[in-house]
Amino acid sequence: MSKILYRLGHWSVRHRRLVVAAWLVALIGMGALSGTIGGTTSDEFAIPGTESQKAMDLLEERFPEASGSSARLVFASTDDTPLTDPDLQAAVGAALAEAAGAPEVVAVSDPFTAGTVSPQGVIAFAEVSYATAANEVSEEAAEALARVATNHATSGLQVEIGGEVGPQEEAGHSSEMIGLAVAVLVLLISFGSVVAMGLPLATALIGVGIGISGIGVVAGFTDLSATAPVLATMIGLAVGIDYALFIVTRHRQDLAEGLDVEEAAARANATAGGAVVFAGLTVVIALAGLSVVGIPFLTVMGLAAAVTVLLAVLIAITLLPALLGFAGRNIDRWRIGRARTGSAAESHDTLSSRWARKVVARPGTALLGGLAFMLLLSAPMLSMRLGMPDAGTKPEGTTARQAYDLLAEGFGPGFNGPLTMVVDLTGAADPDAALSDIAAAVDADPGVQIVAPPQPSPNGDTAVIGVIPATSPSSAETSELIHHLRSDVLPEVEAASGADVSIAGLTALLIDVSDKMAQALPVFMALVIGLTMVLLLAVFRSILVPVKAAIAILLSIGASFGVLVAIFQWGWFQGLVGLEESVPIISFLPMLMFSVLFGLSMDYEVFILSRIREDYVRSGKARDSVLTGLTSSARVITAAALIMISVFASFALDPEPTVKMMGIGFSVAVLLDATVVRMVIVPATMALFGDTAWRLPGWLDRILPAIDIEGEHLIEELEHRDGAGPVDHDDSDGSDRPDRDDDLELVGAG
C-alpha cells in the first residue's frame, strides 16, 4: 500500500493541473446534477420485521383506506373565547373548507361534530386525511396545507399544523461556519502559515461539496433521512480537515529535513497517507456495517456518511499532493508568527514533551487517574434510555411544536402519540365480539386514556382501533404501555377470540426502532472491535496493543454517553446547551457514534503507536520510546482533535435536538479520546508494561501477515537508495515536467 501511495504522490504532483481540474469538474458536475435531478430528504422511514411495520403492511394490503396518512389542523382561541362563538366557528369552517379542497386531501373531519373540541372549548383539531403514506404526499400538497393555516390565522384564532404531514420547516443556521472559523485558528497556530492552513480547508470543502451534492442526487431516486446530509457534512468536514492535516504536517517535516517538494509530497502520501487510508477505511467499513442491522434509513444514513469519508480519503491522497506541488516551497508563505514545521528540533522542549515526561515518570498513577475519570463519566450511561424525539422537542417557533403544545394542553399529552391497533379477523369466530373484547381489555388499562370505536374494513376481515395513551409519545411510560399491551393484555384476548392484534402508528414504530437498535448494538460493537483487534495485532505485533485499543474505545464511548445522559436525560446544563426539556438518547446515535469514533480513534492510535514502535525497534528502550513517540505526535493529534471538536461542537448550536445531540456526543467523544485516552491512558499503559507490551508468541508472529501502514519499510528502502546518490526532484518553480521512470524504479519493483 505504501509503495502505491508513494507512486500516486509522485504522479499527482507531476500531473497536478489534471488532478485539480478533475476534482473541480466532479464538484461542479455533481452540483449541477443535484440541482436538476436531485430530490429532498424526508423524516419518514420503514422498519422491516417489526410488529408495527407488519401491521401497516397488512393495512395497505387489506384496508388501504386506513393505511394513508394524516395531518392535524389545530385551532386555538387566543383570548379564551370559546370556539363555538359564531365568528370563530365560521373562521374554523372556512379553514376546513379550504383544506378539503387542497391537493391530495381525501377527507377533513369537523371538530364540532367529531367531538374533538377540548373540554374548555378553546382548543380543537381536525383530521386531514391523505390516501398515501406521509413520505408520498407531495411537497406541493404539504405547502397548500400550510397556506390554509396562514390564510385563516387571525388576531383571535391561532391555526397550527401537526401530525404526519406538514410543511418542511428548516431551522436556518450556519453553525458549521463557527466550526470552520475555529479550524482556521487552530491550523494557523499549528502551521503558522496562511498557505499551509488553507490547503486542508480547501480539500475538506471540496469533498463535502461533492458528497452533499451526491446525497441530493440520490434523494431524487430514493428516500433519504433528513439527518443524512447533516451527518455527512459534520463528518466530512472533520475528517477532511484532519486527514489533510496529517499529510501536510508530514510533508512539511520532510521539507524541513531537506527533501525536495515532489519527494516530500510522495513520502508524506506513503507514510501519513497510509495512516489516513487505514483510518478512513475503518470508518467507511464501520459505517457501511450499519447495513447489517436491517434498518433501511440507518443503512442509507451510514452509506451517505461512508461515501463522504471515502471522498475525503481519495482527495487527501490525490488532490492534496497536487496542491502541495502547486504550493512548492511557498507553503510557509504569509506567515502568522513563527511557521512551525513539526521537526524533531522544534519538539525538544515543548509543552508536549514536558507532559510526556510527567506521564512516563509516574505511569501507574496516570493510568489509575485516567481510568477513574473515564469510569466516573461513564456512570450515567447505566440509566440510558433509547428513544426518538417527537414534535415536543422541536424549536418553539415551528408550527409542529405549537400544534404539539396546544394538543397537550387541550386534550392531554397522549393525543400527540396515538396508537393504532390493527386487528386481523380472519381467524375470529365472532368478529364483532372479538373487536368488543379487544377494545374493552385495552380500555381497562390505566395507561390508556381513550379507546376509539373499532372501524372494520369493507369486507370485514380487518379492523383498526385507535388508542390514545395517557402519556406523551417519547415518555418511558408510553414505551412500557406498548410492551405491556403486547405481552400481557392482548395475548389473552387473542387466544380467546381467535383474532390477531398488532400495535402500529408512528409512536409504536419509533419504539420498535429503539428496541431493535438496543438489541443490535452489542453484536455490532463486538464484531467491529473483534475485527479491529485482529488488524492491530498484525500491524503492531503485540497482544497488549489491541486489547488496550478495545478497552480505550469502550471507555471513550461509555464516557461520552454518560455525558449525553446527564445533559439530555437528567437535565444537567440544559440551559447552557439550549435544550428546553429532557429527551431520550436518539436510538440510532450509539451505532453512529461508535462507527465514527472507532475510525477516528484508530487514526490517533496508529499515529501515536507507530512512532512509539518505530523508536522501540530502533533503540530497544520501551519507556524512552513512549516518551519520544508521545512528544513527536502530541502536537499534531491535539491540533487534529481541536479541529474535529470545533466542527462537531458547532452543530450543538442547531435548534434541532437530534443534531444538537449528535454535535455534543461526537465532540465530547473526540475530546475524551484525544486527551484522556491518547495523552494519558495509552502512554501510561505502554510505559507501565515496558518490553512486555511488545511481546508476541513466535508461532503467532509467523502466521500473521505483515502490514506496514505508515511505510516504515518503504522509508528504509528510500533512505538506502538515497545513500547511494542524491535524487533531484526539485520543481519548486512550479513547472510541470515529464515522468522519470528511473525515479520510480524502486516502487515499480514492489
Walk along the chain (750 residues) in steps of 10 and give the mean pLDDT of each run.
Answer: 86 93 93 78 66 86 81 92 92 93 91 91 92 80 90 91 76 63 78 81 90 81 72 82 86 85 89 83 80 76 85 93 89 61 52 81 92 94 83 80 91 90 91 92 93 89 92 88 93 92 88 83 81 80 85 88 91 80 82 78 77 79 85 79 83 81 89 89 90 85 74 67 49 40 36
Rounded Cα distance, 704 and 696, in Å = 11
CB 127 within 8 A of CB 70: yes
For the chain, give every domain's residue range: 65-163, 352-382+520-707, 419-504
Coil, helix or strand for 176?
A: helix
367 vs 477: CA distance, rounded Å? 41
566: DSSP letter: I
Q: Residue 173 is which amino acid? A: H
Q: Which three cell numbers stand for residue 597?
A: 469514533
Question: For residue 648, what pLDDT is reported?
Answer: 83
CA distance 56 to 60: 6
- The residue to which cell 495523552 is assigned: 679
DSSP state of 350: S
Distance separating the N- and C-terminal Cα atoms of the chain: 10
d(CA 37, CA 197): 35
pLDDT value for 257: 82
Common-topology check for domains 352-382+520-707 and 419-504? no
* All three cell numbers of 653: 448550536
Separation of alpha carbons 168 and 135, rounded Å:
12
Nearest residue to 191 via CA among 256, 274, 258, 136: 256
Residues 6+ apart with CB under 8 A from 202: 323
Q: How many CA atoms lie within 13 A of 601 on its CB side?
A: 35
Give the 3-state secondary structure of 362-411: CHHHHHHHHHHHHHHHHHHHHHCCEECCCHHHCCCCCHHHHHHHHHHHHH
For the domain spanning 65-163, the CATH number is 3.30.70
pLDDT score of 741: 38
pLDDT, position 745: 37
Which one is the CATH code of 419-504: 3.90.550, 3.30.428, 1.20.120, 3.30.70?
3.30.70
CA distance 595 to 305: 10
The answer to whether residues 245 and 639 touch, using CB atoms and an 8 Å cutoff, is yes
pTM of the predicted model over 0.85: no
Under 8 Å between Cβ of 237 and 179: yes
Cell triple for 377: 463519566
- C-alpha 161/C-alpha 163 separation (Å) is 7
Class of domain 352-382+520-707 as given by CATH: mainly alpha
Q: Report the length, in residues, of the chain.
A: 750
Please give the Cα distance from 508 to 500 (Å, whole number): 17
Q: Enumerate the β-bridge partners of residue 129.
A: 70, 107
| DSSP per position, 434-452 | HHHHHHHHHHTSTTEEEEP
Write the CA distances from 384 to 331, 439, 526, integer angstroms.
48, 34, 19
Query: Among all chains, which residue has been given the C-alpha cell 463519566?
Result: 377
* Secondary structure of residue 160 in the 3-state scheme: strand
Only one residue has cell 499551509, namely 196
Q: How many CB atoms lie within 10 A of CB 562?
A: 23
β-strand partners of 504 = 420
Angle at 555 between CA 551 and CA 559, to 5 degrees: 175
